[in-house]
Amino acid sequence: MHVILPAYRLPGTRYEVEIKSAASPTAQEVTVTATDDLLARHTAGLDHGAPGVPTPVPSLHLAVLTCMDARIKVFDVFGLKHGEIHILRNAGGVATDDMLRSLAISQRKLQTREVIVMQHTSCGMATVTEDGFKDELEQDTGLRPTWAVEAFRDVTDSVR
């Protein structure tokens, strides 16, 4: 099956697309999602990774833990090239158990020796509270999370 999408796509928009397959060439309405858009970009793109980097060991032997905020351009902030560091991200750039798990693998199996914890201004995690966020989820779903939200009030305090 081959799906033909318009060259310019807006996620969340319905498009009539041509679906070609040996069995039945048809046209149908589909809603293009952001995932569809990224898959189309991948298919059209030329850069599918860093095949020139010969090893998973970061050449600078360093890991950065930072927030998942889409505005943070980690490569640009540090002038990085592919293969130089590990980048670990989560909401708030918090050293959760899972981040510690990844850092342990990074240091014990992939030879990193330094860690930078990088926070940023206007972090969304400073706008929620532990109980407030859990209350909101419980009201909407009927389930109260057992995990910690890891909200913080002051971004400077969050890296201490």
Q: How far is the CB of 137 from Zn ion (least distance, A)?
A: 19
CA distances from 97 to 90, 94, 130 (A): 12, 9, 17
Residues in 95-134 at the binding interface with Zn ion, rule: CB under 5 A: 123
Side chain identity, residue 151: A
* Rounded Cα gap, residues 92 and 151, in angstroms: 8
Under the binding rule (CB under 5 A), the answer on residue 150 touching Zn ion is no
Structure-token pair, residue 3: 């799906």
Q: How far is the CB of 125 from Zn ion (least distance, A)?
A: 6
* Rounded Cα gap, residues 147 and 47, in angstroms: 37
* Rounded Cα gap, residues 117 and 158, in angstroms: 10
Site string for Zn ion, 50-69 (x = CB under 5 A): -----------------x-x
Q: How far is the CB of 93 from Zn ion (least distance, A)?
A: 6
Side chain identity, residue 149: V
Q: Contact at 8 Å (CB) between 9 and 32?
A: yes
- Please say which residue, 69 or 84, places its beta carbon nearer to Zn ion: 69
Under the binding rule (CB under 5 A), the answer on residue 149 touching Zn ion is no
Q: How far is the CB of 99 from Zn ion (least distance, A)?
A: 14
CA atoms within 13 A on the CB side of 71: 7
- Please say which residue, 48 or 71, places its beta carbon nearer to Zn ion: 71
Q: How many residues bind Zn ion (CB under 5 A)?
A: 3
Q: How far is the CB of 72 from Zn ion (least distance, A)?
A: 7
Question: By the criterion CB under 5 A, which residues form the site for Zn ion?
Answer: 67, 69, 123
